[in-house]
Amino acid sequence: MAVPKKRTGASAQGHRRSNWKATVPETTTCPNCGELVLTHTVCTACGQYKGKVVSRKAEGFVEDVKEAPKAKATKAKKAPAKKAKKAEEAVEEVKAEETSVEVKNEAPAEEVKEEKSSEE
């Protein structure tokens, strides 16, 4: 790493830093509400920019929803649809099995009740 041979004088340091000054940001007044606004930005109070409604804060704001262009159908897109159909069929099979199991479980319970009553 480079190391200076001699210390920089105060005058040279001051000349170098002479352009290190803060600037006041440019502001204007909003033509709609009169609020103080940074130039080239949307008004934070009313949501307008150059007389047009831009922000959700503004009255009469309408959000433009752009539809995505439809992509060409590919095999990759068809595969998930088949998987979804298979999943739906599997769910239907499971439901059918559950209902048949419930029916089977109910029948022996009735037979057991009849056997107990006949034994007594």
- 68 lies in a domain? no
The whole domain housing 53 covers: 25-57
Residue 14 has pLDDT above 70, yes or no: yes
Beta strands in the chain (DSSP E): 27-29, 36-38, 48-49, 52-53
Residues 120 and 82 in one domain: yes
Number of domains in the chain: 2
Q: Decide: pTM greater than 0.85.
A: no
- 4 lies in a domain? no
- 79 lies in a domain? yes
Residues in the chain: 120
pLDDT in tens, 53-101: 887 767 777 776 677 777 776 665 555 556 667 777 877 777 777 766 5
Residues 87 and 112 in one domain: yes
- 94 lies in a domain? yes
Residues 120 and 94 in one domain: yes
Res 9: pLDDT: 96
The DSSP code sequence of 52-106 is EE-STTSTT-----PPPPPPPP-HHHHHHHHHHHHHHHHHHHHHHHHHHHHHHHH
